Amino acid sequence: MSALFNFHSFLTVVLLVICTCTYLKMQFPAILEQKTGFRGFFWKAARIDSNALKPMVDLLFKHMHDGI
């Protein structure tokens, strides 16, 4: 089943993108300097995990862990 049709799989993909972008921003900050276009999407994903939405990301991870 595609990750787009299964909510649990979709949530896993979204959280992996957020965490990967945050890791890349910490290791290679020059990669995600562009705030518009294709790289802008990943810049925004990295900002989600490093700003005020971090508690929500943590809760989603906890929810996924408890659901397995």
The answer to whether residue 37 scores a pLDDT higher than 80 is yes
Q: Which domain holds residue 62?
A: 7-67
How many structural domains compose the chain? 1
Q: Which residues have C-beta within 8 Å of that of residue 40, sequence separation ≥ 6?
A: 34
The answer to whether residue 1 scores a pLDDT higher than 60 is no
Read off the pTM.
0.71
| Tally of residues, the chain | 68
* DSSP line for 53-68: THHHHHHHHHHHHHH-
Residue written as token pair 């802008």 = 40
Residue 33 CA to residue 50 CA, distance in Å, equals: 15
Residue 26 CA to residue 6 CA, distance in Å, equals: 31
Domain assignment present for 2: no
Domain assignment present for 48: yes
Domain assignment present for 1: no
Residue 44 has what pLDDT? 85
Residue 50 has what pLDDT? 67
- 8 pLDDT band, cuts 50/70/90, is confident
